[in-house]
Chain A
Amino acid sequence: DQQVKQNSPSLSVQEGRISILNCDYTNSMFDYFLWYKKYPAEGPTFLISISSIKDKNEDGRFTVFLNKSAKHLSLHIVPSQPGDSAVYFCAASDHAGNMLTFGGGTRLMVKP
């Protein structure tokens, strides 16, 4: 039973537009959420995180939104760039950063 789900396996967006990647979770004990970006044959790279005491965290072109009542988080990338094309994983933890549970990933393709 997947505790963290990314229901869209892929997403295609035009360069300059907004990319919205979604993630749902079921475990109410999760209180820290992260997004990682991954290129093929490389390790994931940390992008942005949010703790459950917040509902929004912004870092440059990347913003993560958390809706605790819906157990839903989303990553917004604006404007999207071709270099953003990668697989994005959301992850959740019941302690800040330890014992991460990952979603299945969403492949983002940003077209020039």
Chain B
Amino acid sequence: DGGITQSPKYLFRKEGQNVTLSCEQNLNHDAMYWYRQDPGQGLRLIYYSQIVNDFQKGDIAEGYSVSREKKESFPLTVTSAQKNPTAFYLCASRAIQSNQPQHFGDGTRLSIL
């Protein structure tokens, strides 16, 4: 089955620790995205990547870092510099050439204890 896999579904970390959220896709999509959703709000773009080894900041990149070493994978690190990291994190991917919409994974809920 083709799709986007985010793991784990729930993640707990102590304050001050960095944490990395996994996103893998087997759709052969070139572009991948990370969003954050807070309760009662829409999704906000953190980072995106249109090609391997290249990525751009979105609207709320501060306190986050990403890497794109493989086409299939786009991990997001929430660093200790992120002031309010507790949120629902969503990864998406898209086939740029065919002008398709973004497809989303099922998200990771991160809670900082």
For residue B74, CB closer than 8 A to chain A, the reply is no
For residue B52, CB closer than 8 A to chain A, the reply is no
Residues from chain A with a CB closer than 8 A to the CB of B41 are 104-105
**Beta-carbon contact of A100 and B45 below 8 Å:** yes
**Beta-carbon contact of B42 and A104 below 8 Å:** yes
Interface size for chain A: under 10, 10 to 19, 20 to 34, or 35 or more residues? 20 to 34
Q: Count how many chain B residues have C-beta atoms less than 8 Å from C-beta atoms of the other chain.
A: 29
Determine which of A43, A91, A98, A103 lies in contact with B90 in the assembled complex, contact meaning CB atoms within 8 Å.
Answer: A43
**Beta-carbon contact of B102 and A97 below 8 Å:** yes
**Beta-carbon contact of A97 and B94 below 8 Å:** yes
User: Could you count the A-B residue pairs with CB atoms below 8 Å apart for me: how many are there?
Assistant: 61
Residues from chain A with a CB closer than 8 A to the CB of B48 are 98-99
Give chain A interface residues in 53-112, CB to chain B under 8 Å.
89, 91, 96-105
Q: Which residues of B contact A (CB under 8 A)?
A: 4, 6, 9, 31, 33, 35, 40-45, 48, 50, 58, 90, 92, 94, 96, 99-107, 109
**What are the 8 A-B residue pairs with the smallest beta carbon separation, nearest first?**
A43-B104, A102-B42, A102-B43, A46-B101, A104-B42, A43-B106, A44-B104, A96-B99
